[in-house]
Amino acid sequence: MTGDARKTCRELADGVLAEHADAVDSDARFPKEALSALRAHGLLAAAAPVERGGLGVDVPALAGMAAALSRGCGATAMIWAMHQVQLACLLAGEQALRAGEQALPSGEQALPSGEQAPELRDAVTRVVRDQLLIASATSEAGIGGALRTSSCAVERAGAGARLDKRATTVSYGVEADALLVSARRGPGSPPSDQVAVLADSARTRLEVLGGWNPLGMRGTCSPALRVRAEFEEWRILPVPFGDLVARVMTPLSHVLWSGVWYGLAAEAADRAVRHARARGEAAGPPSASLAEMRWRLAGLEAQLDAAARDTQDVMSGAAEPTVAFTLRVNALKLAMSQVAVDVALAAMRACGMAGYSEDGPFSVARLLRDLLSAPLMINNERLVAISSQLALVARER
Ligand SMILES: Cc1cc2nc3c(=O)[nH]c(=O)nc-3n(C[C@H](O)[C@H](O)[C@H](O)COP(=O)(O)OP(=O)(O)OC[C@H]3O[C@@H](n4cnc5c(N)ncnc54)[C@H](O)[C@@H]3O)c2cc1C
């Protein structure tokens, strides 16, 4: 199944994704044709186990799928990757529910048992079965990308609850069937006492707060949104938010985003090689950057594969999310988001004006513009600051 899924991704990338990528980019519009095709092949449920109706693809293979998709359309691949992370978070939350959640830090309120809250399991079943699209709203005005801090809070309202969040960047939020929103547990909770809420779009009012005219990843359609959601208590995931972030949200995001960026850089390098072939031997020896791109990509590929395997172990419960693990997945994100840009720049230099052009078979313009979002998705400066602190307390080998 895993090999088939990657092959399907390659075929879709060469077909429907590539066909619409330029229009999606120039119009900054949602890639609806590509998402329909992904859905038709069951790919939105890739990360869900087979017994739940998904494809049961493990993390290294998911990273390979992200890389394959991004060769056709970076925005589509990023939407797919972000959705897989939300799906994995839902599945982890539901698993905690079934396990009766052992890992509650002292002081946190009791969580419902599986017997008391079958609604969450039913909701996750629907997400997988109907391949519903899930967006993420963790960013927040005044907080930026500080994932472990929220300003907005869950408020009890009658028999249910509600929240009101001003998120700075929400990809495909308007198109999504549901949003996973981070918030403080309650109005009296400190900023780091957070929960994740599965907000159904049908009971959520979205107000677009700004425009969306960025340099790249334009098809992700990620403007600032005011999110006003009303929901039942069971939609608050019964897993400590810190655990969810450490075990699933951060490592899987870094690995799958890195898969997307790796695919974009590899595509740029391939275009540079094809350009050199087209010029022919009469034009002189090929640019030295062709070799440089290859060794840079080989290093990135090895780092991606290692981090993906580590993440699979942590998500399956075979390993703990240690400080060293967090440092490794942060290192992947930092390295990939910087070196992939270097590779695309080298490809552009090798292709010359044909690479600089927005059109033509050797253009690397859109690939490069998409890649320039990589250092901002959880800002590298913020991540460097976090990793420097962690390095002080990590165990030395
Ligand atoms: C294409 C794309 C799609 C996205 N999709 C989503 C989405 O679907 N949902 C979502 O919630 N978010 C999304 N984001 C938001 C993203 O992941 C970040 O959370 C957000 O970009 C952070 O915004 P910021 O860089 O302006 O804020 P900050 O992270 O606050 O950074 C602002 C500035 O402060 C600096 N800074 C902050 N903290 C530190 C520190 N500790 N040390 C040193 N410098 C620091 C940064 O370097 C930066 O210069 C998306 C972003 C992009 C580019």
- Kindly report, residue by residue over 190-219, the tens digit of the pLDDT: 999 999 999 999 999 999 998 999 999 999
Q: Ligand 1: which residue has its CA nearest to atom 42? A: 382
Distance of CA 60 to the CA centre of its chain: 14
Compute the average pLDDT of residues 348-353.
95
**Mean pLDDT for all residues in the chain:** 93
Q: How many domains is the chain built from?
A: 1
For residue 104, pLDDT over 50 is answered with: no
Q: Is residue 229 part of a domain?
A: no
Q: What strand order describes the sheet that includes 204-208?
A: 155-157, 160-167, 225-231, 204-208
Measured distance between the N- and C-terminal CA atoms of the chain, rounded to whole angstroms? 37
Confidence class of residue 100 from pLDDT cuts 50, 70 and 90?
Answer: low
- H/E element holding 134? strand 134-137
Q: Is residue 198 part of a domain?
A: no
Q: What is the pTM of this model?
A: 0.94
- Are 225 and 248 in contact by the 8 Å Cβ rule? The answer is no
Q: What is the pLDDT of residue 106?
A: 33
Cα–ligand 1 centroid distance for 203 (angstroms): 27
Q: Is residue 272 part of a domain?
A: yes
Cα–ligand 1 centroid distance for 377 (angstroms): 6
Q: Is residue 87 part of a domain?
A: no
Q: What is the pLDDT of residue 105?
A: 37
- Kindly report the backbone phi and psi dihedral angles of residue 161, in degrees, each rounded to the nearest multiple of 5, phi listed first: -150, 170
Q: What is the pLDDT of residue 121?
A: 94
Nearest to residue 27, comparing CAs of 66, 73, 90? 73
Amino acid, res. 271: R
Q: What strand order describes the sheet that includes 194-200?
A: 134-137, 178-184, 194-200
Identify the domain containing residue 250 by its residue range.
242-393
Q: Is the CB of 363 under 6 A from ligand 1?
A: no
Ligand 1, atom nearest to 143 Cα: 30
Q: Is residue 21 part of a domain?
A: no
- For residues 76 and 281, the model is more confident at 76
Distances (CA, A) of 129 to 31, 44, 87, 122, 252: 21, 10, 12, 10, 22
Q: Ligand 1: which residue has its CA nearest to atom 19? A: 145
Compute the average pLDDT of residues 281-291.
85
Q: Is residue 325 part of a domain?
A: yes
3-class DSSP state for residue 52?
A: helix
Mutate to test the pocket of ligand 1, among 261, 376, 390 (most ligand atoms within 8 A of CB): 376
pLDDT tens string 312-322: 999 999 999 99
The CATH number of the domain holding residue 252 is: 1.20.140.10
Amino acid, res. 5: A
Mutate to test the pocket of ligand 1, among 76, 217, 338, 382 (most ligand atoms within 8 A of CB): 382
For residue 174, pLDDT over 50 is answered with: yes
Q: Is residue 33 part of a domain?
A: no
pLDDT tens string 220-259: 999 999 999 999 999 999 999 999 999 999 999 999 999 9
Mutate to test the pocket of ligand 1, among 139, 245, 250 (most ligand atoms within 8 A of CB): 139
For residue 102, pLDDT over 60 is answered with: no
Compute the average pLDDT of residues 334-358.
97
